[in-house]
Amino acid sequence: MLGLIVVCAETGTGLAPHALLEPLLGAPLLARGIAGALPTDEGVTGVLVVPADLVDRVRAEVIERFGLDEIDQVVAGGPDRRSALQAGLQALPSEIELVVVQEGARVLTPVGLCDRLVAAARAGADGAVAAVALRDVIGADEGGSLMCLDVRPQLRALQGPAVLKLSSLRAALSTSTEGEFSEVEVCAKAGGTLTLVAGDDDNRLVRDAADVSRALEVFARRAVDYAFVYPSDLLPDDPLARALDPSEARTSDT
């Protein structure tokens, strides 16, 4: 059974949770972050973790209005990413084997990426994470002097979502006190095997207003690559659903 945890923490690396309620082309940024973490060919049991003062508002304005039925619970989490993730883990049912972990501020995850991550995680590893090659020139600081890194061709920028075996994630978190590391890093440091799956260069975390502007530009170029997110109250009536509704008045031919 596949679980999903979407994390929105006050002190995370992405845009603050309150800011994620701002719209991007008609849908809240958070709705787009959730939609990008949904597999296309199977259901999930989903938990969204937000600050306590946003639980009711997010449930009404994001989950219910935009028909994100995959989110079964909206729960309050702690102020940092680690405590928010723990709140999500506690809310998952015991039968979950794999869990998709996504940051709410990752709004540019293309359709299909989550499917590839789930398939890779089920192939025998402790999990899978999306990654792209580093394009920037980097080096190390050695006492104020530049030290070139021979491993540069092997370095990767990690992206979300990640798909992890729930048992491996819980075991790794139980022995880690390093809150600054992500769940992927914690699993790897605990000896877990994580498969790298080719990510997407545009799948960057939204951290500030400049990133939101860039996301608008990306959607303008690649709208077809992202999940359709639209408010349910503005969708046209489904004539088939109306025809099958027993409460609808019927007219008979005479």
In the chain, % of residues over pLDDT 70: 91
Domain assignment present for 218: yes
Per-residue model confidence (pLDDT) at position 241: 54
pLDDT at 149 over 80: no
Q: Please, what sign has the CA dihedral across residues 30, 31, 33, 37?
A: positive
Write out the residue range of the structural domain in which residue 130 sits: 2-244
Tell me the longest C-alpha to C-alpha distance in the chain: 93
Residue 250 is assigned to a structural domain of this protein: no
Q: Is residue 251 part of a domain?
A: no
Domain CATH for 49: 3.90.550.10
Tell me whether residue 233 is in a domain. Answer: yes
State the pLDDT confidence band at 153, using cuts at 50, 70 and 90: confident
The pLDDT value given to residue 124:
87
Is residue 239 pLDDT above 80, yes or no? no
Label residue 232 by pLDDT band (50, 70, 90): confident
Residue 180 placed within a domain: yes
Q: Is 193 contained in some domain?
A: yes
Q: Report yes or no on 249 lying in a domain.
A: no
Tally of domains in the chain: 1
pLDDT of residue 163: 97
Q: Report if residue 254 sits inside a domain.
A: no
The pLDDT tens digits of the residues spanning 101-116 come to 999 999 999 999 999 9
- Of residues 103, 65, 71, 64, the one with CA closest to residue 85: 103
- The rounded distance, in Å, linking the Cα atoms of 11 and 30 is 16
Closest CA relative to residue 17, chosen from 3, 4, 34, 2: 34
